A = this chain, B = another copy of it.
Amino acid sequence: MSSGPRTYRLGEIVARLGGELIGGQDPEIRRIATLENAEPGDLSFVANPRYLKQLNGTRASAVILARGQRGATQLPRIVCDDPYAYYARAAQLLNPEPQVAPGIHARAVVEAGAEVAPSAAVGPFCHVARGARIDERVVLGPGCAVGEEAQIGEDSRLGPSVTVYPRSVIGKRAVIHAGAVIGADGFGIAPQGGRWIKIPQTGRVVIGDDVEVGANTTIDRGALDDTVIEDGVKLDNQIQIAHNVRVGAHTAIAAFAGIAGSARIGRHCAIGGAARIMGHIEIADGVIVTATSFVTKSIRSAGTYSSVLPAEPAQEWAKTVAQLRGLERLAGRVRELEGHPKPRKRKGKR
């Protein structure tokens, strides 16, 4: 690898990314940094008004601000509509992806009948099986395994020890972090006579363009049809996507979320960390599921859904749980206080 970070004049950044430059100076910018830890040469930003007070003490050479906060400092500053998105794009400018020398490492194994584009870089200890296709400027980190007839689209980057099972399809500009497993068998088993019969998983994983997949995340291949991850989906670490799931375009899913088999997640959803989605249900576009919540039924309209239980001091919590268990009895007592007779016991219980 080579290259890495580079520097820009503040004015060059504005010329490329837009926004309004205020403050009469044009410092050279080396890095983005938080207000708290910035040093001279750093560009900082205020994405949340809560941090405005840190402007006072910062050593940053310049700062990105929202339009309404243009007067909040005398530092050289970029004023824009969305400081957080501006920060993201400025950080991309200052931190271009490292250039990787193209070619197949002498310690990689590319089987006959695999196609590797000349501008792609296949790292040491990678195995690319027969019929696989690695497109232009793809980078495979050390120790990746790409199965038979799998495809990886141009400009995609795989971290170390990523597994892409046979026939999986990955689109363009994917970023896939270490240890992710794309296309392992779904959990397909049928009971027979007290044992489990394995159901061959013959579908594929099909991943669109501009998708990110976090470290040690697993996306299973379909049982018969495909598991589909649409364009622009962002998956954090250690997520599990079961067979035949479809995740709609531009949905973001945080770490540890689990999507059970054949669930369909809409577009532009946000699924919180360790949230769970039951199998065979549908979630509309624009749904937010809070972290750790468990969605057990289809959700038909956009909005925020939750079943979060916030932790409390354990002694308090133990009392709540005890009450919870007595809740049916408590409701019965309220019915009696209201003058209703005790409900008759159901037949099955006699």
Q: Which residues of A contact B (CB under 8 A)?
A: 1, 5, 31-34, 37, 82, 84-85, 87-89, 91-92, 94-95, 105, 107, 109, 123-125, 127, 129-130, 141-143, 145, 148, 159-161, 163, 165, 175, 177-179, 181, 184-185, 187-192, 194-200, 202, 210, 212, 214-216, 218, 220, 224-225, 232, 234, 236-238, 240, 242, 250, 252, 254-256, 258, 260, 268, 273-274, 276, 278, 288-297, 303-315, 317-321, 323-328, 330-331, 333-334, 337-338
CB distance from A212 to the nearest CB of B (A): 7
Assess whether B161 is in contact with A143, with CB atoms less than 8 Å apart: yes
Contacts of A84 in B (CB 8 A): 190
**Bound-complex Cα distance A184 to B217 (A):** 12
CB distance from A307 to the nearest CB of B (A): 4
Cβ 8 A contact of A196, one of B232, B276, B317, B327:
B232
Given known A109-B107, A314-B305, contact A255–B273 (CB-CB < 8 A):
no
Assess whether A309 is in contact with B311, with CB atoms less than 8 Å apart: no
Closest 9 CB pairs of A and B: A145-B160, A163-B178, A127-B142, A88-B190, A304-B314, A323-B327, A184-B215, A95-B200, A307-B309
**Bound-complex Cα distance A123 to B142 (A):** 14
Assess whether B309 is in contact with A295, with CB atoms less than 8 Å apart: no
Contacts of A324 in B (CB 8 A): 320, 324, 327
Cβ 8 A contact of A224, one of B32, B123, B337:
B32
CB distance from A140 to the nearest CB of B (A): 12
CB distance from A235 to the nearest CB of B (A): 9
Contacts of A129 in B (CB 8 A): 1
Given known A123-B127, A258-B256, contact A330–B331 (CB-CB < 8 A):
yes
**Bound-complex Cα distance A338 to B95 (A):** 65
Cβ 8 A contact of A314, one of B141, B306, B338:
B306
